[in-house]
A and B are shown apart, each in its own frame.
Chain A
Amino acid sequence: MNIAAELAAGSKAHNTATNPLTGGIQVTICYNRDHIKAVEINNTRPFAVTRLFREKPVDRVLAMMPSLFYICGMGQLIAALRAVESAAGISETLVIKQARDTLLFAESLREQVFSWVTNWAPQHKSRMSNVVDWFNQCRKQLDWSLTLSSATSGEAGCQPALEQLARQLEEVIKPLLPANQAGSSLATMGLSTQVCQLLKACGKYPLGLAAKTLNLTESQQLTVVLTSLKAAEAEQFCHQPTVNGAPAETGRWARQNIEARGFLIESRLRSLYREITTAPMRLRSIVRQHQFSQAEGTGVRGCSVVETARGSLLHKVELDNRNHVAKYQIIAPTEWNFHPQGSLKTMLEGLYLPWDQVTPVAETLIKLLDPCVSWQLELVHA
């Protein structure tokens, strides 16, 4: 069994059949003689979800968020709260902001560790439950911040709770840190020999350039996106968003400001590991009231952008005079990262490599782009 087959066998869960309700990502690669001729990305995730919110009272819509979205449920709920508060003219206090930033951070970390242990370091799988427990602790301690309100009774105990959570996180992360702090090789990151070999094999092939990185904290980019959300085809735009017609990539690659170096597969994996290992330090900066969220307080009425594990999540809401939802729009990170013309296509199309390497290289890239739904890869020999 080759490395790719072994890895695929070890992580079949990611490659499961698509649930008709949640949809999924279908990637079809057409290979011709010695190179990848074409890449087709079909995103079948339900784009009609936000229609469900129309004409419903705001409270009901907010109550639906955690039931409806799980994988980035905290991100979705906080983005919704901030969008609605902004539409209703409610200010977020500093303490509420700190609590919500911590929850966003905790959920991102849970997702990053999940991706790390399921795709790259399966020997750490048993550590996942510690991270889930820690996330649940955060949720329990800071739940008070998840309501539409400018002041709550939970604020008084917030600082001690955050400090306790920061101490707990140090212990949770410790087993995932490199055995040798001074080392920087893949092996010191806890990757198995098989994954190291796979990355080495993938590194042989010069991938095309990735899409430009998305930065919705830049008012110019945000304005362009919001203008498209006003257009008649806005629903389609949410499904396949672009900046001035060009796809953009979001996530840790964009957060770490690594531009157009998509050919470095190994450095993409390192960027995931870096976010996990620096988590205690980053949480401490939230506890010390520094900003973690790079993109919030957009200054646009009814709009919020929060940073999730997979990238920027945008919510835009319009309320009517009864405080019911008149219009709701969401652009999720997977829509940016799996755009039909996005990074996956530009990195793979035209790539010269042997037929038996197409699957491992493509699977590695998909896992690094990390869709939040199941995905399937189909190879066609032209």
Chain B
Amino acid sequence: MCLGIPGQIVAISDEAMQTGIVQVSGVKREANLSCVVPADGNLQTLVGSWALVHVGFAMSIIDEEEARRTLEILAEIGELQEELDAMQQGAQG
């Protein structure tokens, strides 16, 4: 299952190439912003926005509340997965 990971657009790195820096789970990565270019074409207005990032592309702009909700669910999954991994390792050990 493909989980959507919210990231915050923190800077525009190349206006011409339509790329920006997106902070995902505390890590900054370059992302292609061509799918979320605003109607007026001004990429700078995206700085501070939250986006769902997939294989290096910001695919959709989401609001902060939705991003927070998603991050909470993802954290829950992360904890669950860690517990399961620990159980599996315990069973193997």
Contacts and interface: CB of A to CB of B under 8 A. Distances in A.
Interface of A: 12-14, 16, 19-22, 45-46, 48-49, 51-52, 64, 67-73, 76, 114, 118, 125-126, 128-129, 132, 136, 330, 332, 334, 372-374
Q: 6 smallest A-B Cβ distances: which pairs?
A: A70-B4, A13-B56, A71-B2, A372-B2, A67-B70, A70-B52
A68 B29 CA distance: 21
Given A20-B78, A21-B25, A52-B76, 15 more contacts: A21-B3, A22-B2, A48-B80, A48-B84, A68-B3, A68-B73, A69-B1, A69-B2, A69-B3, A70-B2, A70-B59, A129-B36, A129-B37, A332-B1, A372-B2
Contacts, number: 94
B81 interface: yes
Contacts of A114: 57
Nearest to A310: B2
A64 B66 CA distance: 10
B81 to A, nearest CB: 5
Describe A's contact surface by its main secondary structure. helix
A21 B2 contact: no
Given A73-B4, A332-B1, A332-B2, A21 B77 contact: yes
A334 B34 contact: no
Describe B's contact surface by its main secondary structure. mixed
B34 A125 contact: yes
A16 B74 CA distance: 20
A13 B2 contact: no
A69 B59 CA distance: 13
A19 B25 contact: yes
B44 to A, nearest CB: 17
Nearest to A135: B60
Contacts of A118: 55, 57
Nearest to B37: A129
A256 B57 CA distance: 29
B5 A19 contact: yes
Interface residues of B, number: 31
Interface string B65-93: 01001100110111011001000000000
A52 B84 CA distance: 12
Given A21-B5, A372-B2, A67 B59 contact: no
Given A19-B5, A70-B60, A49 B55 contact: no
Contacts of B55: 13-14, 16, 118, 374
Contact of B2 (A12, A48, A72, A128): A72
Interface in B16-45: 24-25, 29, 32, 34-37
B80 to A, nearest CB: 5
Contact of A68 (B4, B25, B34): B4
A256 to B, nearest CB: 23
29 contacts: A16-B55, A19-B5, A21-B3, A21-B74, A21-B77, A22-B5, A45-B2, A46-B1, A46-B81, A48-B77, A48-B81, A49-B1, A49-B77, A52-B80, A67-B66, A67-B70, A68-B70, A70-B59, A70-B60, A72-B2, A118-B55, A118-B57, A125-B34, A129-B35, A132-B35, A132-B59, A136-B60, A334-B2, A372-B2
